[in-house]
Amino acid sequence: MLTHRELGVDEVGRGALCGPVVSAAVVLDATGKAQLHRWGLCESKQLTPRQRQAWVPRIQNIALGWHIAWADPWEIDTYNILQATLRSMYRAITAIPLTPDVCLVDGCHAIPDLPYPQKTVIDGDATEISIAAASVLAKVWRDECLTQLASTYPVYDLARNKGYGTPTHRLALQRYGPSSIHRLSFRPCQVSQTR
């Protein structure tokens, strides 16, 4: 009997003011899903940064396949955040050299031209273990990316805010203007420098 392969895909960073939107895809069989459930995996938002880091190797080791992909700020500004998100999800899914039986997509938007059956699941990271696994991988990867970018763009406090529009980040935008990693189509980034 063939193993049922379920792929979960989720994104992180849609609401940020800078940096990429990042998607992760994770393929699990029934055994892997049951094991992650027994271990107590939940959506990334319910985990501390240290807990998320600890989950990464466990997810990667038990998955049949996984991949992380992204869309950069230029792509977000060119196509809009929704289309850029769907593009990054498509890339993450199709980079895995396995054919899933079904793709569970977090949210309410189907991925255009996906060559596999798909089902959208609102709040899927809270109800589907494969999407929860994807949410953890995407969140850890993006947080590490923004932490590294913080050394190149120190005035925006990216190590703490991970690109989201905190008061400190918005104040830095007002003072210094946007950088090359900011999403210029997002209103808070459309500021004129005051210095």
Answer yes or no: are the C-beta atoms of 19 and 115 closer than 8 Å: no
Bridge partners of 25, per DSSP, are 9, 67
pLDDT at site 194: 45
Taking alpha carbons only, the member of 113, 155, 14 closest to residue 73 is 14
pLDDT at site 2: 56
pLDDT tier, 46 (very low <50, low <70, confident <90, very high otherwise): confident
- pLDDT, one tens digit per residue, over 112-144 is 999 999 999 999 999 999 999 999 999 999 999
Percent of the chain having pLDDT more than 90?
92
Rounded-to-integer distance, Cα 45 and Cα 118, Å: 24
- The mean of the pLDDT values for the chain is 94
Rounded-to-integer distance, Cα 190 and Cα 181, Å: 13
Taking alpha carbons only, the member of 1, 71, 69 closest to residue 30 is 1
For residue 148 the two structure tokens come to: 């590294």
Rounded-to-integer distance, Cα 136 and Cα 53, Å: 8
CA angle 31–143–161, rounded 5-degree value: 140
| Paired sense of beta strands 21-28 and 6-12, if any | antiparallel
- pLDDT, one tens digit per residue, over 153-177 is 999 999 999 999 999 999 999 999 9
- pLDDT, one tens digit per residue, over 7-27 is 999 999 999 999 999 999 999
Determine the average pLDDT of the residues in 50-59. Answer: 96
Please give the domain boundaries of the chain with CATH numbers for all domains: 6-144 (3.30.420.10)
Residue ranges in the chain assigned as alpha helix (H): 30-39, 49-62, 73-79, 81-94, 124-127, 129-152, 158-161, 167-176
| Paired sense of beta strands 6-12 and 102-106, if any | parallel
| Cβ-proximal residues to 36 (8 Å cutoff; 6+ apart), any chain | 28, 58, 59, 62, 129, 132, 133
Query: In this model, does residue 193 exceed pLDDT 60?
Result: no
- Residue showing tokens 């980079």: 95
Rounded-to-integer distance, Cα 183 and Cα 85, Å: 14
- pLDDT, one tens digit per residue, over 27-44 is 999 999 999 999 999 878
Helix (H) or strand (E) holding 22: strand 21-28
Answer yes or no: are the C-beta atoms of 128 and 121 closer than 8 Å: yes
